A = this chain, B = another copy of it.
Amino acid sequence: MELVCIGNELLIGKIANTNAQWLAKRIMSLGLQVTRITVVGDNVQEIAAALRESLRRGPTFIITTGGLGPTFDDKTLEGVAAALNLDLDEDKEALKMIVERYKRYVAEGRMEKFELTPHRLKMARLPKGARPIYNPVGTAPGVLVEDEGTRLIMLPGVPQEMKAIFDESVAPLVRGVAGDLTFYEASIEVRGVPESELAPVIENVMHDNPYTYIKSHPKVSEQTPYLELHLSTTSKDANLARQSVTKTLAQISEIIQNKGGKIRPVEA
C-alpha cells in the first residue's frame, strides 16, 4: 500500500502531512502496511510521474489525497488519467452526486443559487473506467480506478472529507484484502540508559521475540534526553498479538531496570 499526497501546501511547509499520518495509522490498524509516502505539488506531470513509479512497484492499493476540488490547481484526476493513459470523461454518477450536494447547500441556505459552472463540472470528469465514491460531507467525490491488480483510490485533501470517505468506503476494501490481521502496539519511556547502550539489548530481545518489532526513538524533554521504545506486532490472532508484545515488553523492561534505567508506560 502506498500513499501519494498532492498539494503545494505540503511542499512549502504550510501544513504538516497529517492526512498521511491518519491514513497510515488507520491502514495499520486494519492489518495492512504503508510502504511508501510520496508528496508532490499541484502539477499534472509530477502527479503522473509519482503514480507511474508507484504503479511499477505494484502495491495492492495506492491512495492519493488532495487535488479533487473545483480550482484550476486541483489536478489529481488529470494526473491519474496521464499516468494510466486514459481520457477524462464526464461521469453521470459523479455529476449526480455533485449536483445533489450543491442543491442541498441551497436548500440549507448555505448558497444562494446553484449553477453548473465549468469549475463544478470539472469534479465529475473522471478517468475512463473509474467510478466515483460517495463523499458524505463535501462536494468532490472520491474516485476509484483499477490498473493491473492495483486499486487507485483518490480522496480529497480536506481532512474531514478524506476521513469520512475512507471510513465509509475504503476501509471495507482494505479489510477485505487484510483479512483478520490485527496490529498491536505498546510504548514505554526509558530514562537513564543511553540509546547506544540499549541498541544491542534491543537486538537480543528482538532475536528472542521474532514477531515483535522494537524501535527506539530518542527524545528530549526539558533539555534531558530520554528514549521512547515502541513495540508492535501484527497477527491474525488478536490475543496472540497482545501476548507477544506484552511478553517482549516484560523482558526488555527487566533488562533496562537491571541497568539502572527507569521506565514508564506511554499512552499510544
Binding site for B on A (CB under 8 A): 8-18, 20-28, 33-42, 46, 50, 53, 69-73, 102, 105, 110-111, 117, 119-120, 138-139, 158, 160, 194-200, 202-203, 213, 215-220, 225, 230, 232
Complex Cα distance A10/B117, Å? 40
Instruction: Determine how close the nearest CB of chain B comes to the CB of A245; give it in whole angstroms.
Output: 14
Given contacts A13-B24, A21-B13, contact A196 B36 (CB under 8 A): no
> When A and B form their complex, which 8 residue pairs have the shortest distance between CB atoms, in order from nearest?
A13-B25, A13-B24, A37-B39, A70-B196, A119-B199, A16-B21, A71-B199, A13-B21
Residues of B within 8 A of A69 (CB): 195-196, 216, 218
Residues of B within 8 A of A105 (CB): 194
Give the interface centre of A28, A39, A42 by most chain B CB atoms within 10 Å: A39
Q: Which of B13, B28, B216 contacts A26 (CB 8 A)?
A: B13
Complex Cα distance A188/B159, Å? 20
Residues of B within 8 A of A71 (CB): 195, 198-199, 202-203, 215-216
Instruction: Determine how close the nearest CB of chain B comes to the CB of A136; give it in whole angstroms.
Output: 13
Number of copies: 2
Q: Which of B16, B23, B39, B111 contacts A13 (CB 8 A)?
A: B23
Residues of B within 8 A of A196 (CB): 69-70, 102, 117, 119-120, 139
Given contacts A72-B203, A120-B196, A195-B70, contact A18 B20 (CB under 8 A): no
Residues of B within 8 A of A20 (CB): 10, 13, 16-17, 39
Instruction: Determine how close the nearest CB of chain B comes to the CB of A125; give it in whole angstroms.
Output: 14
Instruction: Determine how close the nearest CB of chain B comes to the CB of A171; give it in whole angstroms.
Output: 14
What would be 27 A-B contacts, judged by CB atoms less than 8 Å apart?
A8-B215, A10-B37, A11-B33, A11-B34, A12-B24, A12-B25, A13-B20, A14-B230, A17-B21, A17-B37, A35-B40, A36-B39, A36-B40, A37-B37, A38-B38, A38-B39, A70-B195, A71-B199, A71-B203, A72-B199, A72-B202, A72-B203, A73-B215, A110-B225, A119-B199, A120-B196, A158-B218
